[in-house]
Amino acid sequence: MSAPAKTRTEPAGTGTRRGSRRRKQGIAGNALWFWVFVGPFVIGLLVFSYLPIIWSLILSFFEAYNTVTPSKFVGLQNYVDMLTDRNFLSSLGTFTIFAVFIVPLTFALSLLLALLVNQVKIARAFFRSVFFLPTACSYVVASLIWKLSIFNGVRFGLANTVLGWFGVDNIAWLSTVSPPWYWIPLITVRLWLQLGFYMILFIAGLQRISPTLYEAAYVDGAKPGWQVFRYITLPQLRATSVAVLILNLIAAYQAFDEFYNLIGNVNYARPPLVYLYGISLGQIQDLGHGSAGALILAAIIMIVTLLQSRLFGFGKAGD
């Protein structure tokens, strides 16, 4: 982020020809023009960003069933309820397991794809496009393919057909709780959808590394391959790596689409957002508890993001 002082750029009217009268009008006019440009956006932000958060904060101290107006003040009770709600806590657990798998896997595989694509001499654009193409698909579309075509557990489905060649019985991928097979579709669908995105970030990062560094390492006798990767490429990718990790973790926290479409609102494998959606917009529209839960979740995400960026020094290494 650049210094805020930069916003004050040029002197008001350059006022060369018409002298000081015009300059004075210019300064008064600047405020007006500023609001003409920025005003509509700021009003929208107030109504659709600040107001919702404040309203939700108020509502979280009240009872509000089927209504968006607070009905009965309950103090911190909604928060206490949510923090002792076994379903809400287990949804946080679901998220944790998901993040433990998806964050390192996405990081490693997207970096690997970026390295592979970056080293190819021919048809590089083709390979990049192929890996990037799923990024354009929606989670709904991908979930439908995964649920109805690849990991359909009942009697048809690609995965079970392939396993059948090796004499393995049909597996009900999405409903088998022990062993928790449902993680395989859940994790592979997200990998397919987002690897290309992070690969592009890594490729951009790789291309910012100066070739002279590699030349220097080569002259100094660094062994091409692992040594060069470990001591040149990886440190140079630090800023990108931190961005990828943080974006990835935030995205994992906000998991909703694929869980909702693949598994639905069940008490295993239910991330926080699916649970909150269920209580606030399901049968009983309990917006008081829903608001409290959403704010708890927002607080957790912000704390984790801050900790993570402290830990990895986000911004320090940024270019």
Partner 1 sequence: MAVKAGRNRERTSGTPQPIGFSRSPLGRVGMVLRWIALFVAVVLFLLPFYLILRNALSTEGDITAPSWTLFPSHLQWGNIKELFSDTQVPMARALYNSAVVGILGTAGQLLLASMAGYGLARIPYKHADKIFYAIVATLMIPGAVTFIPSFIVVSSLGWVSSLRGLIIPTLFSGFAAFLFRQYFLGFPKELEEAARVDGAGYFGVFWRIVVPNSLPFFAALAAITFIGNWNSFLWPLVIGQDSSSWTIQVAMSTFITAQTINIHELFMAVAVSILPLVLIFAFLQRYLIQGVTQSGIKD
Q: Does 107 bind partner 1 (CB under 8 A)?
A: no
Chain position carrying tokens 């940024």: 318
Name which position in 156, 267, 284, 313 contacts partner 1 (CB under 8 A).
Answer: 156
The binder of partner 1 chosen from 72, 75, 84, 121 (CB under 8 A) = 121
Distance CA 187, CA 261 (A): 14
169 binds partner 1 (CB under 8 A): no
Name the burial class of residue 270, with classes exposed (0-12), middle (13-18) and buried (19+) by CB atoms within 10 angstroms of its CB: buried
Q: Does residue 206 interact with partner 1 by CB under 8 A?
A: yes
Amino acid letter for position 173? W
231 near partner 1, rule: CB under 8 A: no
Cα-flanking dihedrals φ and ψ of residue 73, to 5°? -70, 130
Q: How far apart are CA 268 and CA 257, in angstroms?
A: 16
Is 266 an interacting residue with respect to partner 1 (CB under 8 A)? Answer: no
Q: Is the Cβ–Cβ distance between 276 and 290 less than 8 Å?
A: yes
Count of residues of this chain found to bind partner 1 when the rule CB under 8 A is applied: 125
For the chain, the C-alpha Rg in angstroms (whole number) is: 26
Q: Does 130 bind partner 1 (CB under 8 A)?
A: yes
Q: Is 72 in the site for partner 1 (CB under 8 A)?
A: no
Stretch that binds partner 1, among 74-82, 92-100, 176-184, 292-300 (CB under 8 A): 292-300
Least distance to partner 1, CB of residue 84, Å: 20
| Interaction of residue 110 with partner 1, rule CB under 8 A | no
- Amino acid in the structure at residue 202: F
* Beta carbon of residue 30, minimum distance to partner 1 (angstroms, whole number): 5
Among 241, 257, 270, 278, binds partner 1 (CB under 8 A): 257
Stretch that binds partner 1, among 81-89, 92-100, 179-187, 212-220 (CB under 8 A): 212-220
Rounded Cα gap, residues 122 and 137, in angstroms: 26
Residue 185 interacting with partner 1 (CB under 8 A): no
- Minimum CB–partner distance for residue 50 and partner 1 (Å): 8
Pairing of strands 72-73, 62-63: antiparallel
33 lies in the binding site for partner 1 (CB under 8 A)? yes
Contact region for partner 1 (CB under 8 A) — 71-79, 84-92, 178-186, 206-214? Answer: 206-214
Q: Which residue in 72, 155, 166, 220 binds partner 1 (CB under 8 A)? A: 155
CB 122 within 8 A of CB 142: no
Examine residue 96 and tell whether it contacts partner 1 (CB under 8 A).
no
Query: By CB under 8 A, is residue 235 in contact with partner 1?
Result: no
53 is a site residue for partner 1 (CB under 8 A): yes
Q: Is 63 helix (H, G, I), strand (E, B) or coil?
A: strand
Contact 81, 293 (CB under 8 A): no
Choosing from 19, 40, 93, 282, the residue that interacts with partner 1 (CB under 8 A) is 40
Q: Which residues, other chains included, contact 242 with Cβ-Cβ below 8 Å and sequence gap of 6+?
A: 309, 312, 313, 314, 317
Residue 83: other Cβ atoms inside 10 A:
13
Give CA 214 to chain center in angstroms: 33
Which one among 19, 21, 34, 282 touches partner 1, defined by CB under 8 A? 34
Instruction: Select from 63, 99, 88 the least CA-distant residue to 276.
Output: 88
Binding of partner 1 at residue 108 (CB under 8 A)? no
CB of residue 267 to partner 1, shortest distance in Å: 17
